[in-house]
Amino acid sequence: MLSKSQIGFIKSLHQKKYRKEHGIFIIEGIKSIIEFIPSGFQIHSIYVLNEYQHLLPELPSNIKLFEINSKDLDKISTLQAPQGILALVHIPVQEKLNLAELSTGFSLVLDGVQDPGNLGTIIRTADWFGFKHIICSPNTVEVYNPKTVQSTMGSLCRVKVLYQDLPELIQEINIPVFGALLEGENMYQTNWGKSGLIVFGNEGKGLSPEVINLIDRPVTIPGAGLTESLNVAVSAAIFCADIFRNLQK
Amino acid sequence: MLSKSQIGFIKSLHQKKYRKEHGIFIIEGIKSIIEFIPSGFQIHSIYVLNEYQHLLPELPSNIKLFEINSKDLDKISTLQAPQGILALVHIPVQEKLNLAELSTGFSLVLDGVQDPGNLGTIIRTADWFGFKHIICSPNTVEVYNPKTVQSTMGSLCRVKVLYQDLPELIQEINIPVFGALLEGENMYQTNWGKSGLIVFGNEGKGLSPEVINLIDRPVTIPGAGLTESLNVAVSAAIFCADIFRNLQK
């Protein structure tokens, strides 16, 4: 059984304020936890129902393991239907942007994406196509939001997500800056080359004016013209698939 | 001001059971409502804050209009941040499947998609690319779920969503049946032809065994091989974009 203070501590991590204060976030589900254990992230502790324990690999001695009952899991879980196992993970110190490394390939750039599920889905999609970096404007939703973490389905342990002033980044880097815009060149005819930043805007407002001015290549996903826009995670996926196709040639 | 019984009635429509019983669902936001008014859907009534009223076009006389205060809107809204206007819409009687019409192009088929946001996003994406029909297995999430309706962003008034036994449909129709599967032909090399059904499975379990057996052409989105799967709305979007590209040639 968990103590009241342990439960209170874990529940506090449902909130951004306390995640920041303690430098810890929550992941749930055996699949994600198994992927995080050997990753660069440091696991703080694991809380598991008896019947899920055999699914865990042997743990390094610095990870504390607690067997808990489902009543306590319901209290500490961020999910409506908890998945039998939950872990606390240390938030890593953000690495310095390595412009030389970024310049060798494609990275996704998010300018004020607000929905945690969209951010998580974009991370999962980037991982599918092997894109290693996502750079977010400071006003993009927090990557350690439980809904974001959950919708990455474990991909968060492989994709680096960095927060950075975008105009500064764009001005310092020397690769093409593509922007997902409603008026731009036809994506199907775009020659992506070998490297670039691909910038996506906020769900409602699109790209911010400071960033729009710095886009070299506005690109549009052709459509039938009946509806105004696509969901941002959908646009990002269609761009990723097109760039990946181009890289395979 | 709305009466208690009006508020109770609208709140009951947040639940599937009462939407079915009354044959009415909720849409919110001025953009969606403006798109639904001239569509084939019949609006039952509109509830609007004074300051949003000028955004409405002239209404047919059979639509009841109620000016409400924001306290009442908070009570009847399905959203955490209500958007100033809400409408009740009659659920149309499901049309009979027109196999001849379906056979002239591409339709998306969903086999047990459970997340309302995923269904809504798929409808919005289908609308972007001009796909007119989505056929859902009976165990797919209800299309009039408020989260689904909201994430269609108005596209629900243009895309027909039908529920239908899938093995029956597939056996009756005479066009290629493509399935989004992890092991299949490379999507980038797929020749889609001029018509087909594209089948997508449940978020966790994928396609059901009865349906898998009826797939003519399993197709896979190539990736870097690091993660197991993509979000179903993301897969659907990548397929739609590829088929649309093929149709443009």
Query: What pLDDT is recorded for position B2?
Result: 92
* B230 Cβ under 8 Å from any chain A Cβ: yes
Alpha carbon dihedral B91, B97, B101, B102, in 10-degree steps, equals: 100
Chain A residues with CB under 8 Å of B129 CB are: 223-224
Assign B85 a pLDDT band (cuts: 50, 70, 90): very high
Of A222, A237, A245, the CB nearest to B234: A237
| B12: pLDDT strictly greater than 90 | yes
How distant is the Cα of B168 from the closest Cα of chain A, in angstroms? 30
Percent of chain B exceeding pLDDT 90 equals 94
Residue ranges per domain, chain B? 4-90, 99-248
Torsion angle in degrees (nearest 10) through CA of A218, A221, A224, A227: -80
pLDDT at residue A165, rounded to an integer: 97
Confidence at residue B148, expressed as pLDDT on a 0 to 100 scale: 98
Using N-to-C axis directions, what is the helix angle for A232-248 and A116-128, rounded to 10°?
10
B241 in reach of chain A (CB within 8 A): yes
Question: Is the predicted pLDDT of residue B225 greater than 90, yes or no?
Answer: no
Indicate the burial class of B13 (C-beta count within 10 angstroms; 0-12, 13-18, 19 or more).
buried
At residue B130 the predicted structure's pLDDT band, cuts being 50, 70 and 90, is: very high
Fold category of B99-248 in CATH? Alpha/beta knot (3.40.1280)
pLDDT in tens, B39-69: 999 999 999 999 999 999 999 999 999 999 9
Report yes or no: B189 at the A interface, CB cutoff 8 Å.
no
Q: Which of A128, A225, A230 sits opposite B230 (nearest CB)?
A: A128
Residues 6+ apart with CB under 8 A from A88: A10, A13, A24, A25, A26, A43, A44, A45, A46
Q: Given CB atoms, is A226 within the 8 Å cutoff of chain B?
A: yes
**Dihedral sign (CA B197, B201, B206, B212):** negative
pLDDT at residue A39, rounded to an integer: 93
Query: Do A234 and B237 make contact, defined as CB atoms within 8 angstroms?
Result: yes
> For B224, what's the count of Cα atoms within 13 Å in the CB-facing half-sphere?
19
Question: Could you tell me if B128 lies within 8 Å of chain A, comparing CB atoms?
Answer: yes
pLDDT of residue A111: 98
B125 touches chain A (CB under 8 A): yes
- pLDDT by residue, tens only, chain A of 249 residues: 899 999 999 999 999 999 999 999 999 999 999 999 999 999 999 999 999 999 999 999 999 999 999 999 999 999 999 999 999 999 999 988 899 999 999 999 999 999 999 999 999 999 999 999 999 999 999 999 999 999 999 999 999 999 999 999 999 999 999 999 999 999 999 999 999 999 999 999 999 999 999 999 999 999 998 888 999 999 999 999 999 999 987
User: Which member of A151, A153, A237 has the closest CB to residue B238?
Assistant: A237
B58: left (phi over 0), alpha (psi -120 to 50) or beta: beta
Q: What local confidence, expressed as pLDDT, does residue B248 receive?
A: 87
Beta-carbon separation of B130 and A224 below 8 A: yes
Report the complex ipTM: 0.95
Across the interface, which of A124, A125, A226 has its CB nearest the CB of B127? Answer: A226
Is B125 within 8 Å of A234 when comparing Cβ atoms? yes
pLDDT of residue B25: 98
What is the layout of strands, in order, in the sheet containing A177-186? A160-163, A133-136, A106-111, A196-201, A177-186, A217-220
Distance from CA of A180 to the nearest CA of B (A): 15
For chain B, give the longest Cα–Cα distance: 60
Pick the CATH number of A4-90 from 3.20.20.70, 3.40.630.30, 3.40.50.150, 3.30.1330.30: 3.30.1330.30
Residue type, B241: A
Q: Does A237 touch chain B (CB under 8 A)?
A: yes
Among chain A residues, the shortest Cα distance to B125 is held by A230
Whether B126 and chain A come into contact, CB under 8 Å, resolves to: no
- Give me the residue from A117, A130, A242 closest to B224, CB to CB: A130
Q: In whole angstroms, give the CA distance from residue B97 to residue A53.
A: 49
Residue A230 near chain B (CB below 8 Å): yes
B222 contacts in A (CB within 8 Å)?
Answer: 244-245, 248
Closest CA to B87 of B75, B100, B76: B76
Query: What is the distance between the terminal CA atoms of chain B, rounded to a whole angstrom?
Result: 56
Mean pLDDT along residues B152-175: 96
pLDDT at B49: 97
